Amino acid sequence: MKNTGTIRVGIGGWVFPPWRGTFYPNGLKQAEELAHASRHVSAIEINGTFYHSGKPDSFRKWRDETPDGFVFSVKGPRFVTHRRELATAGDGVQMFFSRGVLELGPKLGPVLWQLMPTTRFSPADMGAFLELLPKESDGRPIRHVIQPRHPSFADPAFAEVLARHGAAAAEVDDADLPASGAAAGFRYLRLRRCVEEEPAGYPPDSLDAWVERARKWAAEGTDVFLYFINGAKIRAPHAAMALLERLSTKATG
């Protein structure tokens, strides 16, 4: 009998001035925003690591400011992903994981590797890249997610390569990006269609549909990481909280 998967719902980052007075209470100090956010959503995707690897002290501080069970997903740096051949990224991968991200400890969630829009699918190159990625730290598994942005990744061989290496593909709710499947016992979703006209970012029926999907996957033993990313970003926290509220309501029927 399969165990029930865990569903985590979150946002991208936590420093966003328009959230002050809309998500963050008026007068809340910026230094307290992570503590506030992490008690209203259950995960945050750190995007700043795409541009710089961060510092050990920062990761430790973020780990300690957030409650037990909270998770940070981390976007891998562009000095790894933005190259002609991913297989040549070994030194960059080692550098990234040596610069503090592992200080998150049990709060380290999946690492997202967002590829260049021009990167085409090559089974050999993708397989070689996935071989470079560490699979565990201090006995805890490290999950990896690939987000392709070129239509050539619609090839069924992409899912096969991911499965061989225990990785997943990001599923993106965006008409301009290729949809992808999932592997490795978890699903990673980036929802990018928040609109400012909707108080909760997405229409109620759309949120209900995402809840139904997430519950179905979790019932199959799949962990779910679902982030509201971009679109009308000012609505992202409200979308995440609305989804979490729905998930906390016992399903009927």
26's tokens: 């008026």
pLDDT category of residue 252 using cuts at 50, 70 and 90 = very low
Burial class, 116, CB count within 10 angstroms (exposed 0-12 / middle 13-18 / buried 19+): middle
What would the pLDDT profile of 103-126 be if each residue is shown by its tens digit? 999 999 999 999 999 999 999 999
Type of residue at 143: R
pLDDT of amino acid 53 = 81
pLDDT of amino acid 253 = 40
In angstroms, the CA 179 to CA 85 distance is 23
Model-level pTM?
Answer: 0.94
- SS3 for the chain, per residue? CCCCCCEEEEEECCCCHHHECCCECCCCCHHHHHHHHCCCCCEEEECHHHCCCCCHHHHHHHHHHCCCCCEEEEECCHHHHCCCCHHHCHHHHHHHHHCCHHHHHHHEEEEEEECCCCCCCCHHHHHHHHHHCCCEECCEECCEEEECCCHHHHCHHHHHHHHHHCCEEEEEECCCCCCCCCECCEEEEEECCCCCCCCCCCCHHHHHHHHHHHHHHHHCCCEEEEEECCCCHHHHHHHHHHHHHHHHCCCCC
What would the pLDDT profile of 152-185 be if each residue is shown by its tens digit? 999 999 999 999 999 999 999 886 665 565 567 8
What would the pLDDT profile of 209-222 be if each residue is shown by its tens digit? 999 999 999 999 99
Q: What is the pLDDT averaged over residues 238-244?
A: 98
pLDDT of amino acid 241 = 98
**184 Cβ neighbours under 8 A, 6+ residues apart:** 143, 162, 163, 166, 167, 168
Angle at 28 between CA 196 and CA 52, to 5 degrees: 75
242's tokens: 């609305």
> Which domains, and CATH codes, for the chain?
7-248 (3.20.20.410)
What would the pLDDT profile of 219-232 be if each residue is shown by its tens digit? 999 999 999 998 89
What would the pLDDT profile of 193-205 be if each residue is shown by its tens digit? 999 999 999 999 9
What would the pLDDT profile of 23-35 be if each residue is shown by its tens digit? 999 999 999 999 9
